[in-house]
Amino acid sequence: MRLFSWHLDRDTVRNASNRKGDFMTNNYSDKGSKGLHRSLKILLSIGLGAAASVQTAWAEYQDPLDLPAQAMASAPQSLLLDVTKAGDRLVTVGERGHILYSDDQGGNWQQAEVAVSTQLNAVFFVDEKEGWAVGEDAAIVHSNDAGRSWQKQFDARDAEFPGPLLDLYFRNANEGYAVGVFNKLYRTDDGGTTWTDWSDHAENLNEWHFFAMAATDADTLYISSEVGLLFRSVDGGESFEPLQTDHNGSFHGVLAKRAEGGNDWLILSGVGGKLFTSKDGGASLRELETHTEAGLASGTWLDDGTALVVGTDGLLLHVAADLNSVTKYQLENGLPLSAVAEPSQDHYVLVGLGGIQTLEQLPRR
């Protein structure tokens, strides 16, 4: 999950109407406009208000899912929620359908052409050309030109519980998964031409939210969730079983890699500065002291085998290569961070509230 992409009171939403638009997101002004027009339509249906005014307002509204992202000079300073590498290129996504790419390790950025202007929460490239991004109303967009242009493949704006997709993973250019709130799980076997509701393949009867995905090989996938749950598949995504940990909070981020001994090493991070590691594929967890209660968003493995996890207050947590200790760093500006990439060793590109930041080295403690 990208920390600033979305906030939801579960009971409020479950007790609310199922109509599209009852699901509101933070940091996205277009949703407020959407709710206003919905309210106007309700007033019209019961004969209140001026019919002409309502019809004018409704005619002016355009769904962000149908409206291309606008080119904005300020896009690099806007709310950005994820960043990844596409070969030597960097690609970042965020609010208002903003997608930007850089070919000089984050020094300069170009805005891509995107078919939607809804908020995008996560991005994944399977190679230097082919990539996907997911966002609000379960929007999924695709690029086959290294992130220069993006076309919409899917949305679920009329679902019973409309809401965002928060992360995705592709095994190859054909097979991929997307996850989100209330057990949202979709699968594609044709590069996203069609997306199938795959939620029945997860043992998630309480419909806990799915926040983030990671994989260690073609058969082993992980999904982080709420109430200390980690979902794992060992059959290539055909089924996802829940692993109940001793933690009772949410895991907003998950990193996974196959260690030299053959075990899966995991890093799980979430609310309250909580960070756990596992050296046995999630069967057991060790909590590491982070010296912070700031919320943690996501992270990345670094070239030297360590990992970097980011969060609110400009927080950076450097996890040792043996997964046994954490070193805390903090940016002077204190801006919340949502994701990080390492285009080259000891060079970091950070995104979050306030847009893109670059570091040549970790700040002094």
The answer to whether 290 and 269 have CB atoms below 8 angstroms apart is no
Please choose, from the candidates 306, 349, 307, 313, the residue with its C-alpha nearest in 3D space to the C-alpha of residue 330.
313
Sheet order of strands, 89-94 included:
80-86, 89-94, 99-102, 110-111
- Count of C-beta atoms within a 10 Å radius of residue 103: 14
Q: Would you place residue 362 in the very low, low, confident or very high pLDDT band (cuts 50, 70, 90)?
A: confident
185 Cα distance to chain centroid: 13
Please choose, from the candidates 296, 335, 328, 295, the residue with its C-alpha nearest in 3D space to the C-alpha of residue 314.
335
CA distance 185 to 202: 8
**Which residues, listed in sequence order, are joined to residue 210 by a DSSP beta bridge?**
225
Q: Tens of pLDDT along 55-108? A: 545 558 899 999 999 999 999 999 999 999 999 999 999 999 999 999 999 999
What sign results for the dihedral spanned by CA atoms 46, 47, 49, 51? positive
> Radius of gyration (Cα) for the chain, nearest Å?
20
- Confirm whether 1-201 and 217-228+250-365 share one CATH topology: yes
CA atoms within 13 A on the CB side of 235: 6
DSSP state of 84: E
Residue 13 carries which side chain, given as an amino acid letter?
Answer: V
CA distance 350 to 355: 8
Q: What local confidence, expressed as pLDDT, does residue 159 receive?
A: 79
CA distance 236 to 143: 24
Pinpoint the alpha helices (H) of 94-213.
none
Phi and psi torsions of 106, nearest 5°: 95, 5
Q: Would you place residue 7 in the very low, low, confident or very high pLDDT band (cuts 50, 70, 90)?
A: very low
pTM, entire model: 0.85
- Count of C-beta atoms within a 10 Å radius of residue 43: 15
Domain ranges of the chain: 1-201, 217-228+250-365
Kindly give, in sequence order, each residue whose CB lies less than 8 Å from that of residue 198, ignoring residues fewer than 6 positions away: 177, 185, 186, 187, 237
CA distance 53 to 184: 37
- Of the chain, the end-to-end C-alpha distance in Å amounts to 27
Instruction: Determine whether 303 is exposed, middle or buried from the number of CB atoms within 10 Å of its CB (0-12, 13-18, 19+).
Output: exposed
Q: What local confidence, expressed as pLDDT, does residue 58 receive?
A: 53
Fold of 1-201: Neuraminidase (2.120.10)
CA distance 90 to 69: 19
Is 22's pLDDT higher than 70? no
Residue 327 carries which side chain, given as an amino acid letter?
Answer: T
Kindly give, in sequence order, each residue whose CB lies less than 8 Å from that of residue 273, ignoring residues fewer than 6 positions away: 290, 291, 292, 293, 294, 295, 296, 311
Q: Tens of pLDDT along 174-204? A: 999 999 999 999 999 999 999 999 999 999 9
- Is beta strand 296-301 parallel, antiparallel or unpaired with respect to 307-311? antiparallel
Q: What local confidence, expressed as pLDDT, does residue 181 receive?
A: 96
Question: Domain 217-228+250-365 class?
Answer: mainly beta
DSSP state of 27: T
Q: What local confidence, expressed as pLDDT, does residue 361 receive?
A: 85
